[in-house]
Structure 1
């Protein structure tokens, strides 16, 4: 059971004080009594809920007692109810309230009215306490949130619905040093004027505010340590009306990772380029040996192995160079000319049949296959997909290739049976260094660098097309390429 509220009844008139105390006690309150201002100040403490205070006391004014109670840290939260039979005019009431009293009653007062007034004041006190507790909790949570955001290793910035910066943590300033412009109170328009490198970042913020959708991107910014690369995510927060009221932007410094990727890709490009010269010399030497004739059967076998391996290495080097071009921003070179996709597909299928005489590769073409494409690049696409289908399908099953000319586009499909591609691999199938293996046996088969499907997707994209895959146990696996006619 919670303890009863403590009320301090202050009045130098014994009879009046007794009546008031009796009424309050019968109503369930704990009542203490005082006859002077000095006694009041001595008795009141942090546990006192309410002081019923006569305005005129023998040693000091009740107004002064009220002022001191409100000024003391121990008693400032106690409620004060002035109760007077002498100071009853409007000016008296106004003066009492101005000195900090919470209510003012004129004696004699009806007991029921007194108790009702006390209950009302105590409800006010409880509400004030609850508000203070909630406020303290909110302030504590806000302090912890600001502390956590401030100490976060990654940059964090908060913008309001108009794009004005509200908050930026220490990592924002530390990441840019003297180039730092993210000062709270500045609008995004002002920031992009002060630092034009923020233009793409500012456009993402505008899109987040306008659409209410998460935005992601990359930006390169100057710092005291040189250019820094950041990946950022902007998360808008909408209010009850659906309007964006705030956007929080979080960033990650990916400079070291980006530099490592650039170095690796530059190294791959240089390596692939420099390997071609000794490989060409090896191939030419083997071809000359073949042309000379007079080779024993054993020598012919070795020479064929050299040429086959050289061709495979040439394909790998070509893939490495294509990968390096794509990842370094140059894109895969595409030289468009008038050609027939069906001729390209027929040539790739015939090559697959020749290199896999034991396998069945079926071909079906329909419609008009002519368009503006890079025939050599499309030959890579068809070759990669057919080779992939042969590699990851049962030896006794056929591989089906179809090409269809439609209005405005051509569609290529390569289908094979066998174990489906695991669903978790499908979203990453066209990433670099990934293979479409579906079992330990298949992964153990001779393979390439894991760049075939990546390069295929890049070639198709360079033509403005799309490549998709469906793979199920019942239907098998189908790669579908759609190419605009140019």
Structure 2
């Protein structure tokens, strides 16, 4: 605090002493107001007064009483008091003055430099107190804003301290579960688990977040007054300067409606795919019998082949639908491992696609050993999806390159094409279901697929404990990569 900004009330009934003290303080740059009695001092002091230099023995009332009243009055309780006395000079006097609320005690006569230094020290204390109060008000304000934001949030939110106790939970959390809610402030993780066993997997993730300081995500199903509800949750730890976990905030999102719609769609797809197979098989068998019987003219033969080609394409779509439904409802696509050669899978797939795309160039390069325990048919399906995708989305005059490399620990498959690059914002979602890219101009008339091929490919690779990735740019082209651990 700059000295010139400080306002000091100098209270002393001795005019000479009062003059000397005020003169010293004035020369030091302080603003000084004089008072000759206790009652005058109480009348002159305001909330803007920084310091009262108060004689202990005054004609109308004791300086100790003036100090007490200053400290008890809300308007002036923050004013600093420095007792200055030439008569009450004993240790007991000084102790009594400090016990009555004084912030300092000097015995007169006092050296001017000591007086100014003491005043400066007390004013630094007052400035520190002001800063602490301002900071405290800001902290309270920020806390109120945080509590208001959390309470008004549409999604359920809960906050846990470093020991896992509930600090707060918003109204949305209680409303989402009604009478089933157990997130009362102060409850521990163990107490909530005992009250609602369905929370156990979620609370274990809270413990992991508290222990590791890492964000945890998941989905859970919980009971409520409206029946079972599905929630996606994110647990976000708040870390201290040393990396220790100070708190964990849990934000939840009710996905019951979207999940129910998704499950219905997937069940419907599964039933649809299953029920379509019988009439499709009958159609395909009838066309095959017509072809075997012979005696068809050119137009009839062309129509029969078109029926067979369309039936094969429909059969592939149905198989994709069934695989998709199975992966969603059954936790993944099942695989049956047996000894086989991945390189043979790739060679056979490339040969078939070369035959069905006579105008295209598909190069194949193999290196190392492809032997291992895999599901031959499923890998053929996955590789076929990638190579067919590369042919579909690249120019007719370009080359599709397929690479297979086996090492001691894994087999890596690569499928590369020079088609239009995949936009960067779409790359994270390429393996999602129902997604289709823009076909090459040469393939513009081909029927569009369902957008399930890459999703199924990823499911097959994951069933082999592998990983599927994609990289795409205008300079390097598009490369799909599969890693299969041995």
Q: TM-score, normalised by structure 1?
A: 0.89
Give matches, 1:321-336, under 5 Å: 321-336=322-337
How far 1:4 moved relative to its partner?
4.4
Contact 1:420 1:438 survives alignment (8 Å): no
Which residue number in structure 1 is paired with residue 6 of structure 2?
Answer: 5
Deviations 1:102-125 (A, max 9, x none): 112222323333333223222222
1:425 aligned counterpart, secondary structure: helix
How far 1:385 moved relative to its partner?
2.2
Contact 1:25 1:31 survives alignment (8 Å): yes
1:384/1:41 Cα in 2 relative to 1: closer, same or farther (>3 Å)? same
Equivalents in 1 of 2:264, 2:411: separation in Å?
Answer: 38
Moved over 6 A (4+): none
> Is 2:28 the partner of 1:22?
no
Which residue number in structure 2 is paired with residue 177 of structure 1?
Answer: 178
> Is 2:280 the partner of 1:274?
no
Deviations 1:446-468 (A, max 9, x none): 32111111111111221223333
Contact 1:422 1:438 survives alignment (8 Å): no
Give matches, 1:73-472, under 5 Å: 73-363=74-364, 369-403=370-404, 406-407=407-408, 409-437=410-438, 445-472=446-473
How far 1:362 moved relative to its partner?
4.4
Number of residue pairs matched by the alignment:
485
> Is 2:28 the partner of 1:39?
no
1:421/1:21 Cα in 2 relative to 1: closer, same or farther (>3 Å)? closer
How far 1:245 moved relative to its partner?
2.8
Equivalents in 2 of 1:65, 1:396: separation in Å?
Answer: 100
Equivalents in 2 of 1:40, 1:234: separation in Å?
Answer: 59
How far 1:348 moved relative to its partner?
3.0
1:390/1:92 Cα in 2 relative to 1: closer, same or farther (>3 Å)? same
How far 1:261 moved relative to its partner?
1.4
Equivalents in 2 of 1:119, 1:363: separation in Å?
Answer: 86
Equivalents in 2 of 1:389, 1:344: separation in Å?
Answer: 17
1:178/1:27 Cα in 2 relative to 1: closer, same or farther (>3 Å)? same
Equivalents in 1 of 2:26, 2:115: separation in Å?
Answer: 12
Q: TM-score, normalised by structure 2?
A: 0.89
1:141/1:78 Cα in 2 relative to 1: closer, same or farther (>3 Å)? same
1:240/1:470 Cα in 2 relative to 1: closer, same or farther (>3 Å)? closer
How far 1:411 moved relative to its partner?
4.5
Contact 1:182 1:191 survives alignment (8 Å): yes
Single out whichever of 304-313 and 380-389 deviates more from structure 2: 380-389
Contact 1:437 1:443 survives alignment (8 Å): no
Deviations 1:209-242 (A, max 9, x none): 3333222222222222222222222222332333
Single out whichever of 158-167 and 458-467 deviates more from structure 2: 158-167
Equivalents in 2 of 1:402, 1:50: separation in Å?
Answer: 85
Single out whichever of 358-367 and 389-398 deviates more from structure 2: 358-367
Unpaired runs of at least 5, structure 1: none
Q: Give the CA RMSD over aligned residues.
A: 2.8
